[in-house]
Structure 1
Amino acid sequence: MSSRTYDPVAPHTVAFIGLGVMGYPMAGHLKRAGHRVTVYNRTAAKSDQWAAEHGGASAPTPRQAAHEADIVFCCVGNDDDLRSVVLGEHGAFAGMKPGAVLVDHTTASANVARELHATALHHGLHFVDAPVSGGQAGAVNGQLTVMCGGGEDAFGRARPVGMAFARAFTLIGPPGAGQLAKMVNQICIAGLLQGLAEGVNFGVQAGLDMKLVLEVIGKGAAQSWQMDNRGGTMVDGKFDFGFAVDWMRKDLGLCLDEARRNGAALPVTALVDQFYGDLQALGGGRDDTSSLLRRLARDRR
């Protein structure tokens, strides 16, 4: 559990839909910040567990969770999951009061963000696409970076509440811009991790003390979050934690789809996506994304 302190914000009635490795602690931060929180999860036992642990309430449908909420937060798996909890008779939009805001933290496509923004406006509601960066540790510690797309008014209402689990909550642009910014984030991470894997593998092959090398070069221009947080575990061959290969493959698929639409060239991203496919074929889909090193180690055998 995080020991962080929270900026004073007037208590809001909020809902949180989706209690996975990210949503569960994010909803917890909202409750600890003093907000009235009702949660929904497809597996009801997880909702009940959260309510028992945090003292909030659980609901059997997204619609009932969203009832009377000022802001509805959501964090699910993909476009189809998002539509399933937002739209339809039992979806969140059906239960939200006029003028309420739905803030979606799912890493999804820019197209679905624009689609749901338009649907929300049709129903007198607001929608903000707000994917996050920082991983499970960022969610647990309340230190996520949130990149948003949507209207300024809806963003302005959501930001003070969402800062309960964030260190930065920034409006990037119109609907879909948050998802596009998250794609930039994942493109950059993919290239960094492949470079780090190749560097570690090269150093091991050269007979270097790679823990020492990473300590030294981590004080220079090569420094990155990935080097600081994954370099040592890569050297130790530890990959059973963190952001899974399966999730990264999903995210890179979104990046490549968008690039085909906007004409951007992503040669390195496409190559790293194939490398992650190799790791999936080896049964490593649930390993951390830094497991790119395993593929190189296999090649050298």
Structure 2
Amino acid sequence: MLKKIGFVGLGTVGVHMAANLAKSDYQLTVFDQDAKAVAELATLGVKVGESPMATAKGQDLVIVIVPDSDFLVFGQDGVFEGIDPGTILVDMGTHCIETIQRMAQEAVKHRVMFLEAPVWGSKEHAANGLLTILAGGDEALLGRCREPFSYFGLNIIHIGKVGDATRMKLIVNLLQAEMMQSLSEGLVFGEKMGFKPDKILEVLDSGGVASPLFHSKGRSIARGDFSRNLALKYVHLQMLRVLETAEKLGLELPAAKTVSGIFAQAVADGRGEEDFSAIVKLLRK
């Protein structure tokens, strides 16, 4: 039975995942380089680790959700320096296939059980326990993790072997970025013809193109609210990974190339820290 959990990575989504876990009966230890995020979790009564190594030591389950795993996972004082044999290690970030394979290989060396489980959703999804979790690895091992995952995830889907969840997440990232671009173009096109965003969204919500993304992001755009739920810079990074993977497969994705270029321009314009819906600002120039 899982009792002690180490949690490394308190970013935009991770901090809310850990906060929800803090409401459980698990003994939770957290680590992040952001002192503000750590202090926020400490007020909930969780233990704060001195390093990723210390946070991973003596745990039943270690969850890692960081954009760049090299230092915090593989480096000196990293997770693999402290994790004990028999521990379950779950990577919940979104990385390239090569990184996931490296983590899986390192887990074998340390006699650690490994799952990849990239999460899908925004800050709001994480805060409300509504994330989707795509899992790759032993399904029985996933079964042992379902209870802790349920504190921050609504949908927990086993995709296949290690690597498959990351591949599936690429599909999600591709469609999400292209849908945001389509929504932005539709809103700006409509505005130029004299329609209010709210009226455009009312029509979109009523028919076959209705989607939760159009509904929520369309209304935040209409309000001029671009506060970060999912950082534009991360969406751009994921689109680059989509194109890299497509190239290896010998596949042309013309729309993805165009959308990736638009996100690249938004990052170059200094909008990387804004919500990814801020690409609409490029079209409104």
Q: Sort the TM-score into its range (normalised by shorter chain).
A: over 0.9
Q: 1:232 to 1:46 in 2, by over 3 A?
A: closer
Which stretch of structure 1 is more off in the superposition, 68-77 or 284-293? 284-293
Q: State the Cα deviation string for residues 180-227 of structure 1 (Å, max 9, x = none).
A: 111111100111111111111111111123312311221211111221
**Could you list the per-position Cα deviations for residues 14-70 of structure 1 after superposition, in whole angstroms to 9, with x for gaps in the alignment?**
00001111111111111202111001112345324412x110101111111111211
How far off is 1:236 after superposition? 3.5
Q: Is the 8 Å Cα contact of residues 11 and 34 (structure 1) preserved in structure 2?
A: no
1:70–1:195 CA distance, 2 compared to 1 (3 A): same
Q: Secondary structure at the match of 1:114?
A: helix
Aligned position for 2:47:
57
SS in 1 for 2:284: helix
- For residues 126-174 of structure 1, give each alpha carbon's deviation from its aligned partner in whole angstroms, at most 9, with x where no partner exists: 1211111111111111110011111223222222211110001111111
- Quickly say closer, same or farther: Cα 1:295–1:88, change in 2 above 3 A: closer
Partner of 1:43: 34
How far apart, CA to CA, are the structure 2 residues paired with 1:48 and 1:145? 27
Q: State the alpha-carbon separation in 1 of the partners of residues 72 and 159 from structure 2.
A: 25
CA distance in structure 2 between the partners assigned to 1:127 and 1:85 by the alignment: 16
**Aligned amino acid, residue 40 of structure 1:** F
1:275–1:292 Cα contact (<8 Å) kept:
yes
- Spell out the pairing of 1:23-102 with structure 2 (5 A cutoff): 23-44=14-35, 46-51=37-42, 53-77=43-67, 81-102=68-89
Residue in 1 that maps onto 2:8: 17
Retained in 1: the 8 A contact 2:2–2:61? no
| 8 Å contact from structure 1 (residues 74, 105) kept in 2 | yes
- Aligned mates of 1:113, 1:239 — CA distance in 2: 32
Output the CA distance in 2 between the equivalents of 1:250 and 1:210.
29
What per-residue deviation string (whole Å, max 9, x for no partner) do you get for residues 224-282 of structure 1?
12211011222343323321211111111111111122223221111111111222222
- 1:241 and 2:228 aligned: yes
Cα separation, 2, equivalents of 1:176 and 1:98: 22
In structure 2, the partner of 1:148 is 135
TM-score (norm 2): 0.94
2:212 to 222, 225, 233: 225
Query: The residue matched to 1:69 in structure 2 has which SS?
Result: coil
State the percentage of identical aligned residues.
Answer: 29
> CA, structure 1 residues 33+11, in 2 after alignment: closer, same or farther (shift >3 Å)?
farther
Does residue 111 of structure 2 align to residue 127 of structure 1? no
The runs of at least 4 consecutive aligned structure 1 residues that moved more than 6 Å come to: none
Which residue of the other structure, out of 164, 189, 195, is the alignment partner of 1:208? 195
Aligned to 1:182: 169
Q: Tell me, in whole angstroms, the C-alpha distance in 2 between the residues paired with 1:249 and 1:278.
A: 10
Give, in whole Å, the separation in 1 of the partners of 2:35 and 2:222.
Answer: 40
> Given the alignment, which residue of 246, 267, 270 partners 1:280?
267
**Conserved 8 A contact 2:221-2:277:** yes
Deviation for aligned residue 1:89: 4.3
Gap runs ≥5 in structure 2: none
> When the two structures are superposed, what TM-score results if normalisation uses the length of structure 1?
0.89
Partner of 2:280: 293
Q: Which residue of 1 aligns with 2:185?
A: 198
TM superposition shift of 1:94: 2.6
Change (3 A) 1:46 1:203: closer
Provide the secondary structure at the position in 1 that maps to 2:225.
coil
Matched residues in 1 for 2:274 and 2:40: separation?
A: 26
- Cα distance in 2 between the residues matched to 1:149 and 1:131: 9
Distance 2:214 2:151 in 1: 28
Give the CA deviation at 1:119. 1.4
